[in-house]
Structure 1
Amino acid sequence: MEIIGWIVILLCFVIGFIGLVYPIIPAVLFVFGGFIMYGLFFSFSDLPWWFWAIQSLFVILLFGADAIANAFGVKKFGGSRAGLWGSTVGLIIGPFVIPIIGILIGPFLGAIIAEILFNKSSLKKSVMSGIGSVVGFITSVFTKGIIQVVMVAIFFFTI
């Protein structure tokens, strides 16, 4: 049963890291789920209150990081609220339309299309908004990846 427990825990962590680049998967919830699985399979007493407090703060931070990084990228490159919404829609739809590379093309095209349709922006300004959405996404993935590594490291350090 111990082996099955560790397989489930590690599988949660792996899915969590896959979720960094696949937006449909709530990445941080799978990492947090791995901690809960540890408690269910082994013992919650191995994970003190401060562990849960720190991990809960990281979960809140990671949910906010996505929105902030994407908004920052679009705004930094001259995009508007329409570009932000377009990039978000593109981020969700892109991987389904074009597997793998759609994760970058989706938000890029979404921001461009939204800027042109809703703001009547020039092609140059719309493309800059699209570039900003990709920069925001990559920054978000990198940042969230580091935080998730820290979360898992704290888990292994604690147990």
Structure 2
Amino acid sequence: MEMIYWVLISIVFLIAFAGLIYPIIPSVLFILAGFLLYGALFTFADFNWLFWTIQILFILLLFGADYVANIFGIKRFGGSNAGMWGSTVGLLIGPFVIPVVGIIAGPFIGAVLGELAVNRTPLKQAFRIGFGSVIGFITSAVTKGFIQTVMIIIFLLWVL
């Protein structure tokens, strides 16, 4: 039975990593769900205040990394809030409208359309901002993937 429990916990953690590609999946909630699932299936006794403090700090780091990477990608390439909002909408819709390619095309198209529609940005500059949004997304995904991996490693070291 213990093996089945670990498989379930692993599936929840894998879903969290799927959230790096499909941002509509709340990765951090699935990582927390994996911890809680372990507690419910095994024991919560393994989790003391230090474990939760460390994990909460990593959760805050996840949110901060996501925000900073998006700002870096858009603002660094001359974008505005319209580009950030467009990129976010494109990031949420893109993977479902254009499977596989939409994860990159969505933020790009969203940022370009946001800048063109709201700020009347010249097309060449809007494309540059769209490229920046893709750079921001990739940077964010890699950073969040690293942080999530560290969170899971800490969890495993804590309970094993």
TM-score for the superposition, normalised by structure 1: 0.96
Match of 1:108 in 2: 108
Match of 1:76 in 2: 76
The one-letter amino acid of 1:33's match is A
Q: Is the contact between residue 12 and residue 34 of structure 1 (CA under 8 Å) also seen in structure 2?
A: yes
Q: Is the contact between residue 29 and residue 59 of structure 1 (CA under 8 Å) also seen in structure 2?
A: no
Structure 1 moving runs of 4+ over 4 Å: none
Q: Give me the whole-angstrom Cα distance separating, in 1, the residues matched to 2:89 and 2:67.
A: 13
Q: Is the contact between residue 109 and residue 130 of structure 1 (CA under 8 Å) also seen in structure 2?
A: yes
Q: Give me the whole-angstrom Cα distance separating, in 2, the residues matched to 1:54 and 1:43.
A: 19
Q: Give me the whole-angstrom Cα distance separating, in 2, the residues matched to 1:115 and 1:9.
A: 42
Cα offset, 1:32, TM superposition: 1.5
Match of 2:122 in 1: 122
Q: Give me the whole-angstrom Cα distance separating, in 1, the residues matched to 2:13 and 2:151.
A: 10
TM-score for the superposition, normalised by structure 2: 0.96
1:78-157 correspondence to structure 2 within 5 Å: 78-157=78-157
Q: Is the contact between residue 94 and residue 103 of structure 1 (CA under 8 Å) also seen in structure 2?
A: yes
Q: Give me the whole-angstrom Cα distance separating, in 2, the residues matched to 1:6 and 1:13.
A: 10
Cα offset, 1:60, TM superposition: 2.1
Cα offset, 1:64, TM superposition: 2.9
- Same amino acid, percent of matched pairs: 58
The one-letter amino acid of 1:26's match is P
Cα offset, 1:3, TM superposition: 2.2
Cα offset, 1:48, TM superposition: 2.0
Match of 1:38 in 2: 38
Cα offset, 1:67, TM superposition: 2.2
Match of 2:57 in 1: 57
Q: Give me the whole-angstrom Cα distance separating, in 1, the residues matched to 2:62 and 2:21.
A: 14
The one-letter amino acid of 1:112's match is V
**Matched residue count:** 159
Q: Give me the whole-angstrom Cα distance separating, in 2, the residues matched to 1:97 and 1:156.
A: 37
Which structure 1 residue ranges, 5 or more long, are not aligned?
none
